[in-house]
Amino acid sequence: MDLEEIYQTAREKMEGYCRVCSVCDGRACKGEVPGMGGAGTGSSFQANLAAWQDYKLQLRTLHQADDPDTSVTILGEKLTTPILKAPVTGSQYNMGGALSEEEYTKVVVEGSQEFGTIAMTGDSGDPTVYDVGVDAIQACDGFGIPIIKPREQDEIKKRIKMAEEVGSKAVGIDVDGAGLITMALKNQPVGPKSKEELEELVASTELPLILKGIMTADEARLAVDAGVEMIVVSNHGGRVLDSTPGTAEVLPEIAAEVGDEATILVDGGIRAGVDVLKALALGADAVLVARPLIIAAFGGGKEGFKLLLDNLTTELKKAMILTGCNSVDEISSDILRKY
């Protein structure tokens, strides 16, 4: 099995939902929500990719970083790679249904654990989808992180309790899902959260609380002041609001504001190991990857999923060698040029 075989199989299995383009940039699937596209014109999806390309890497070879260490510690766990699986659900209505929700979720949670990283599972307009993620995490002895849509407070607390019961590493809320079309279509109310509501949720659990969907420094500050331990810089893959900036544009100012107080993850348009390196150099502690890993799961099952994780991590390691970074901790903005 190689990546080209995986992509070809995925094209067949995801026909009508994802074209598995040679460059996954959101142009062919703009406005296809449900589906794999971005909202409206697709400009937010496209901005995510373009923002990473605004940064170039400083090539350096006069050093001794010949075997870099790609491991990171997240939530007290040493991971082999700073690449985590982003929370995406909807196998049937977003991805075509060639894998059931249970099959897809099992692939990404087990595959992540076997590779030495963590998968985030998601929530959906179909309430049973969250249960599927929690069940998969339980089967992996709690090695996973369920992410909850910004539902009403009591509904979130119920789902936090489920995460606690299976011993998950943390629990999160993707507040960028406040305007999701797929939730509205299923009559599942979601909406924004106030600082007081965040404080209430933080106080309701001993698990670290993650907030996904932060795109401004002021909201990063608000989240951290409310007790959130980890934030994810994300515009929901460009799927909820047209005309947002790319995540790489806003990451540096968010990292400058709260980087010493919270763990920062970022997603959106990360397609190669060099993108991971740029994200770490801009202040992220790790990254989330979604669409490429979904395609790998559909095209190659668990082995295809792990193969792509390995490919991305190998690309990252090579880029670290050629920029003089011996470990993730050594990566800094000094390796970047912006155009």
Q: Which residues of the chain have pLDDT under 70?
A: none
Is 163 within a domain? yes
Residue 62 falls within a domain, yes or no? no
* Under 8 Å between Cβ of 260 and 245: no
For residue 92, tell me if it sits in a domain. yes
CATH of the domain at 172: 3.20.20.70
Tell whether the torsion through CA atoms of 60, 328, 311 and 297 is positive or negative.
Answer: negative
Query: Which domain does 196 fall in, by range?
Result: 77-325
Q: Is residue 54 part of a domain?
A: no
Q: Give the tens place of pLDDT for each residue, 193-234.
A: 999 999 999 999 999 999 999 999 999 999 999 999 999 999
Would you state the pLDDT for residue 84? 98
pLDDT confidence of residue 91:
95
- Residue 1 within any structural domain of the chain: no
86 inside domain: yes
Among 20, 33, 15, CA closest to 292? 20
pTM for the model: 0.97
Q: What pLDDT does residue 1 have?
A: 86
User: How many folded domains does the chain comprise?
Assistant: 1
Total Cβ atoms within 10 A of residue 189: 11
Residue 247 lies in a domain: yes
Residue 63 lies in a domain: no
Task: Identify whether the C-beta of residue 186 lies closer than 8 Å to the C-beta of residue 125.
Answer: yes
25 secondary structure, DSSP code:
-
273-281 vs 291-321: helix crossing angle, rounded to 10 = 70
What pLDDT is attached to residue 183?
A: 85
Q: Is 34 helix (H, G, I), strand (E, B) or coil?
A: coil
| Per-residue pLDDT at 120 | 98
